[in-house]
Structure 1
């Protein structure tokens, strides 16, 4: 997962012995001829942090006057190609790439939109939107508007504005917000769906943590259970994803990974 400023907070840590030029030479050798040495690709690309992979790609270009991503695309296929190519992109560039692919052509991958826009920080959102515009010549907000609908679209657009408060918490407002969420669950009108969306998409995670506790005190019900009971479809999935990311973002992605496998 990526936190503020797309700093890696996952399991791949920077290799203190990384030599970008040597790694680029090894990749060049692995990609020579008709086949390729996949073990070398895996040993280097999956064992370097994101910033190191970008330096390796730059060194590769300087050494061979070729683009590493293009060479990987030419030599590999299937899901292995997708993984190797994806790892060479910077995190915001990869997010932009995935969002574009989620909406291009027939159909939309709503789960991809949820996974990225729900879990990224304000800084992350601004970076990926800038790259999305430069890379594809399209405005992310406009594409979201044309490819989704209803309250689900409204919530995605809200998240894409990058206006979530970060690091701010007001215990005095937590009970007020919790009461507003409880009323939204009870009445379920379009106006109340908008209110639910505004609170969950705009308040800081620190604030929402307190709001969820107050919601339990007020209603005697967990906020996730209330959302499951009151809403449905992708709007429900998006709201539940926000709750999960507020509580434990790594656990949310662990669940998504488990679901993808099983």
Structure 2
């Protein structure tokens, strides 16, 4: 019954159900789910009850406040969210945990990886507080001449790899609009004869490299990026439950249908097929219900 009700309602409806539950029975639905359920099935059902900004905040908090930092969670969320989504998650993070997201990222990460994350979550622009729902990334702006200059900067950054060049690289990837970055990547290919992802993989390593690649892939095709992350989580890590749950819940009302499509196109098997092979019981049923597939997917 829990699966049938909570997975077949949109997030707004689930939040209304939680309000009605509190009003009728004087109990917190999330609290009852946490108390009565267990293991990964509990994680799915509880995760569905958060609003999107609150769920992102929840995942970021637990990624940084557990035993060690879960860097790939930070990458998946912060490399893929829009300015408005980042602004809203920062507010939710502060309300839920009484903490500042930027300060926590600064204290829990390091080096150019930290610098890039900090750039992604900034809510100031050119030294001034932002008065509308946006972060620092430009939106809808294109300049072909500037794209050629930026491409040259990226090429030099991949060749020289100094601290200054790393800073310039992450500034471009974090600050330019998606439309502008499309032009930059094309110019980079023209200048270097190499795809920018290949160049980054050759020149850098560690979480800094993974974050830069994630930003590029999200600019190009966000559903394809998440299809790749799901495939890796299922096949490369022996079914990394946290990653699978996080992506399915976070993208369920955004682009999960397109993610499913990219998954099947790229890997030859449906997402449903792979979930059924690796998950079981109510946990499997809940994941499949979120994906909401039809007969051909099975």
Mark yes or no: TM-score above 0.5.
yes
For 1:44 and 1:200, the matched residues in 2 are separated by: 41
Q: Does 1:43 align with 2:16?
A: no
The residue number in structure 1 matching 2:79 is: 118
For 1:212 and 1:51, the matched residues in 2 are separated by: 38
Q: Does 1:188 align with 2:149?
A: no
TM-score calculated relative to the size of structure 1:
0.84
Deviation at residue 55 of structure 1 after TM alignment: 1.3
The residue number in structure 1 matching 2:186 is: 213
For 1:210 and 1:56, the matched residues in 2 are separated by: 45
- Give the SS at the match of 1:107: coil
Pairing partner for 1:233 from 181, 202, 206: 206
- Give the SS at the match of 1:164: coil
The residue number in structure 2 matching 1:29 is: none
- Give the SS at the match of 2:8: coil
Deviation at residue 163 of structure 1 after TM alignment: 0.5
Q: Does 1:166 align with 2:150?
A: no
Residues 1-262 of structure 1 mapped to structure 2, 5 A cutoff? 40-161=1-122, 162-262=135-235
- Give aligned pairs, total: 223
Deviation at residue 126 of structure 1 after TM alignment: 0.9
For 2:67 and 2:76, the matched residues in 1 are separated by: 20
In structure 1, list runs of 5 or more residues that go unmatched: 1-39
For 2:109 and 2:72, the matched residues in 1 are separated by: 12
Q: Which has the larger radius of gyration?
A: 1
Deviation at residue 50 of structure 1 after TM alignment: 1.3
The residue number in structure 1 matching 2:263 is: none
For 2:171 and 2:104, the matched residues in 1 are separated by: 21
The residue number in structure 1 matching 2:249 is: none
The residue number in structure 2 matching 1:22 is: none
TM-score calculated relative to the size of structure 2:
0.74
Q: CA RMSD in A?
A: 0.8
Task: List structure 1 segments (4+ residues) > 2 angstroms apart after TM superposition.
Answer: none
For 2:193 and 2:187, the matched residues in 1 are separated by: 10
In structure 2, list runs of 5 or more residues that go unmatched: 123-134, 236-298
For 1:41 and 1:177, the matched residues in 2 are separated by: 51
Deviation at residue 221 of structure 1 after TM alignment: 0.2
For 1:172 and 1:159, the matched residues in 2 are separated by: 24
